[in-house]
Amino acid sequence: MTDGNFTGQVAIVTGAGLGIGFEIAKQIALQGGTVLLNDVNPQLATNAAEAITKLSGNCIALDGDAADVDFIQHMVDTAVKQFGKLTIAIANAGITLFGDFLNYPAKSLQSVMNLNLQGSFFLAQRAARQIIDQKSGGSILFMSSVTGHQAHKDLAAYGMTKAGLEMLAKSLVVELSEHQITVNTVAPGATLTERTMEDAAYQDTWARITPMGRAGTVQDVANAVLFLVSPQAKQITGQNIVVDGGWSAVSTSPY
């Protein structure tokens, strides 16, 4: 897609070296936007930004920990310094640490909460401050998950954080709507990414139990995200879109 839907927009996308985040960053850039692409892995961030640039997209890389509050402010400052403003913040970075509830370690819980909740919360806060100062309006989006809606084996901690992000989006409607800032979430279901495809059975398993007959793609998720942060969705805020091919309507277990 190259329809210029994001011309004049400046976006931060975290966790965008691969997978869903990369596709979101790529599509915003190819539709005329400017993107600061973040990943904790320096090589992934650089490679991703270079790939988008080769496609004629305007994108720079900034590697660092998207859970760190000082680094989050650095991302916002860098976007403004490089591009003059910030209008879109997409908190895509997240971590999934499987483990049964009865034996789940405190270290794992803190890691999941720090990135999934703290990182998303403070990206929204620092981006909102900048957008308010600009008096430009803008969009914030959190990446949720179907595990924030339906219980999934060994993902109690992860699911808790994703449900929390959806409540955060609703809460921020009260605080940010007067500044013309929309806040929404997208909840992917099973999605084919570099990570999930490491499981040889993943694609077939989810195709079998998903009503639409296939696992989702990164393009499926990116399409929903781009709509919610686009000019076409300026009257949509505090909402969640589930992108799971109908799985959460039936919730057939993959186990």
Mean per-residue pLDDT, 42-71: 98
pLDDT at residue 47 greater than cutoff 70: yes
Backbone angles phi, psi at 204, to 5 degrees: -70, -40
The per-residue pLDDT for 255 is 77
> In this structure, is residue 4 part of a structural domain?
no
Sign of the torsion angle spanned by Cα atoms 140, 70, 104, 95: positive
Please report whether residue 251 resides in a domain: no
Residue 1 lies in a domain: no
**Cβ-contact 92, 24 below 8 angstroms:** yes
Q: Does 225 map to a domain?
A: yes
**Number of structural domains the chain divides into:** 1
CB-neighbour burial class of residue 12 (10 A; exposed 0-12, middle 13-18, buried 19+): buried
Give the residue among 128, 224, 126 at the shortest CA–CA distance from 174. Answer: 128
Average pLDDT, the chain: 96
Q: Is the pLDDT of residue 138 over 60?
A: yes
**pLDDT at position 1, please?**
40
pLDDT in tens, 1-33: 446 699 999 999 999 999 999 999 999 999 999
Inside any domain, residue 150:
yes
Q: Supply φ then ψ for residue 156, to 5 degrees.
A: -60, -45
Please compute the mean of the pLDDT values over residues 209-226 and round it to a whole number: 97
Distance CA 217, CA 130 (A): 32
Task: Cite the active site residues.
Answer: 145, 158, 162
| Span 230-253, pLDDT tens digits | 999 999 999 999 999 999 999 888
The pLDDT value given to residue 252 = 85
Percent of the chain whose predicted confidence (pLDDT) is above 90: 95
The pLDDT score that the predictor gives to residue 253 is 85
Residue span of the structural domain in which 164 resides? 10-242
> What are the backbone dihedrals phi and psi of residue 100, each rounded to the nearest 5 degrees, phi first?
-70, 145
CATH of the domain at 176: 3.40.50.720
pLDDT average, residue stretch 137-166: 97
d(CA 1, CA 137): 24
The 10s digit of each residue's pLDDT in 99-119 is 999 999 999 999 999 999 999
Q: Is residue 105 part of a domain?
A: yes
5 belongs to a structural domain: no
